[in-house]
DNA sequence: TCAATCTATATGACACGTCATTCAATGACA
DNA sequence: TGTCATTGAATGACGTGTCATATAGATTGA
């Protein structure tokens, strides 16, 4: 039995979906076209750029994103392969890794961030 | 330069992401476990169930979901393979197809919808 | 100190979504 | 009516995410 509340819930859900997908797709295309990285790659880059402390961060990253641990690992693979990030072993826990932006990574991030924020504004702000 | 507005935008965006991912994952797991269909499959089923008219619908479906045309086509493949939906050719435009729920599809949908709405409520309604 | 257990990350198999392309049917217009 | 462009849908190659597992290092407790 479809109650009014049910319909409202479904509406709300579809609205979130649309908001999410349309925005994500727009950003992804733009970043891909201009900087040759996908949205997930940028978001990891963004998180790394945000972390001022040099704590061991692979783990911390996993807690700040809805991505799976293994997804994060593969995104970092690509970022590393692209020379934007580097993995460094952790002195106090040799299982852990912390990530650093390379110079190229820092440069790309600061350009891409402008684009990213602008598209967020265009898609969410309005 | 990270303005306050930028940070707010990023916050808003991450909140949407979390809301979307956490809810989607919860629903997906539940539907998978109890009814052996994924969230996308259910959403197509839901759209077909909603359509009272018998217009040619593959196309219409594509307009009501953020999924790609080809994604919809593959989801319908699976639904058809599972015996929940059937494709019928359209008399007035033989390129088009319209979809119908089978009896099994209707039955599964009405059970799964209850679960779906409940999880939406739990995750969004809060 | 040595097992047992736990934790951080990586990896391989697999599922699914996307893009580009294909194919058939339709429409438009000379 | 015959060509050319357009449209609805399906398909194959490919990239990326997920799950389950593997591996190496840490921790606990006897």
CB pairs under 8 A between A and B: 53
| Sign of the dihedral defined by the CA atoms of residues A114, A115, A116, A122, in that order | positive
Question: Measured between alpha carbons, how far is residue B49 from residues B14, B73, B85, B98 in Å?
Answer: 32, 17, 10, 12
Distance CA A93 to C1' C19 in A = 43
Cα distance between residue A31 and residue B45, in whole Å:
34
CB contact B23 to A (< 8 Å): yes
Q: Which nucleotide is nearest to B71 (CA to C1')?
A: C17
Within 8 A by CB and 6+ apart from A19, the residues are: A123, A124, B16
Question: Residue A125: its pLDDT value, please?
Answer: 74
Q: 3-class SS at A102?
A: coil
Please indicate whether, in this complex, the C-beta atoms of B13 and A121 are within 8 angstroms of each other: no
Closest CB from A5, A16, A120 relative to B9: A120
For residue range B19-78, what is the model confidence (pLDDT) as tens digits?
A: 899 899 999 999 999 999 999 999 999 999 998 766 678 999 999 999 999 999 999 999
Are the C-beta atoms of residues B66 and A18 closer than 8 Å to each other? yes
pTM: 0.90
Residue B118 tokens read as 């409940």
For residue range B81-122, what is the model confidence (pLDDT) as tens digits?
A: 999 999 999 988 999 999 999 999 999 999 999 999 999 999
Please indicate whether, in this complex, the C-beta atoms of B117 and A13 are within 8 angstroms of each other: no
Q: What angle do CA B104, B107, B113 make, to 5 degrees?
A: 130
Q: End-to-end CA distance of chain B: give it in Å, rounded.
A: 36
- Of the residues A9, A14, A124, the best mutation for testing chain B's interface (the one with the most B CB atoms within 10 Å of its CB) is A9
Question: Residue B112: its pLDDT value, please?
Answer: 96
CB contact B54 to A (< 8 Å): no
Question: Residue A5: its pLDDT value, please?
Answer: 87
Residue B98 phi, psi (nearest 5): -120, 160
Residue A43 tokens read as 């978001």
Nucleic strand D under 7 Å from the C-beta of A40: yes
């Amino acid at each position: 039995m479809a109650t009014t509340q049910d319909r409202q819930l479904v509406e709300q859900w579809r609205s979130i979906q649309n908001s999410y997908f349309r925005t994500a797709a727009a950003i992804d295309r733009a970043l891909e076209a201009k900087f040759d990285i996908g949205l997930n790659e940028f978001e990891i880059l963004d998180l790394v750029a945000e972390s001022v402390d040099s704590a061991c961060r692979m783990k911390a990253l996993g807690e700040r994103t809805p991505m799976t641990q293994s997804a994060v690992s593969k995104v970092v693979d690509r970022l590393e392969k692209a020379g934007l990030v580097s993995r460094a072993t952790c002195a106090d826990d040799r299982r852990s890794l912390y990530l650093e932006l390379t110079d190229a990574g820092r440069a790309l991030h600061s350009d891409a961030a402008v684009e990213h924020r602008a598209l967020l504004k265009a898609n969410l702000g309005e």
